[in-house]
Chain A
Amino acid sequence: DSGVTQTPKHLITATGQRVTLRCSPRSGDLSVYWYQQSLDQGLQFLIQYYNGEERAKGNILERFSAQQFPDLHSELNLSSLELGDSALYFCASSPRLTSTDTQYFGPGTRLTVL
């Protein structure tokens, strides 16, 4: 158990809908990262927040947005969902901003778009 929790575990929805994935980092960790894992693209970095502020962005679609709240939990919002958004979404956390910190990954949310 990494100490990172993600809810829900599974999510099934239809095209065009909007969903919110939630992540609670390990106690004391200030950085939160979101990754997407699909069969064709592999594991891809989406976005990083540190202490409430966006710090790095990857290939995140404009339909996707994220935020980190004062209690440090984070949410990833996916809208106008398409079939290709079906994937595993992982959240990871680390103590600080530096890249040399270990990232601890949560169990993931499996999103299925029908």
Chain B
Amino acid sequence: DAKTTQPPSMDCAEGRAANLPCNHSTISGNEYVYWYRQIHSQGPQYIIHGLKNNETNEMASLIITEDRKSSTLILPHATLRDTAVYYCIVSLAGGTSYGKLTFGQGTILTVHP
């Protein structure tokens, strides 16, 4: 699986958009980009995933660059409850990985009042 690089921490004001970057320059053509988050010591929570196109759901938007070497997770209106560790994960679709997620260190997002 391709390795990802994320900033260790970021701050965001409540109500503003939080833009979390992720670099995955060695991503291959059949690898998806996933975002999960972990609030305190709870189980990680799925946010969104994509292959090539930008994706949006009720939680967030995922912007993947055309060369797929980087992506940005956007939380459009951050709230205090969005304070968490955000993990960007690149995972091979199929093959012997069968869905194994390789978590890095993630980005600690702190949302301030």
Q: Interface of A with B (CB < 8 Å)?
A: 2, 4, 31, 33, 35, 42-45, 48, 50, 55-56, 58, 88, 90, 92, 94, 97-108, 110
Contact = CB atoms under 8 A, between A and B. Distances in A.
Nearest to A55: B98
- Chain A contact residues: helix, strand, loop or mixed: strand
Contacts of A4: 43
A92 B93 CA distance: 18
Interface of B: 32, 38, 41-46, 49, 87, 91-94, 96-105
B60 to A, nearest CB: 14
B103 A56 contact: no
A21 B38 CA distance: 21
B43 A50 contact: no
A90 B46 CA distance: 14
A90 B44 contact: yes
Contacts of A99: 32, 91-94, 97-100
Contacts of A2: 43, 45
Contacts of A105: 43-45
B98 A48 contact: yes
Given A50-B98, A56-B96, A92-B43, 14 more contacts: A31-B98, A31-B99, A35-B103, A45-B101, A45-B102, A48-B99, A56-B97, A56-B99, A98-B93, A99-B100, A102-B49, A103-B99, A104-B46, A108-B42
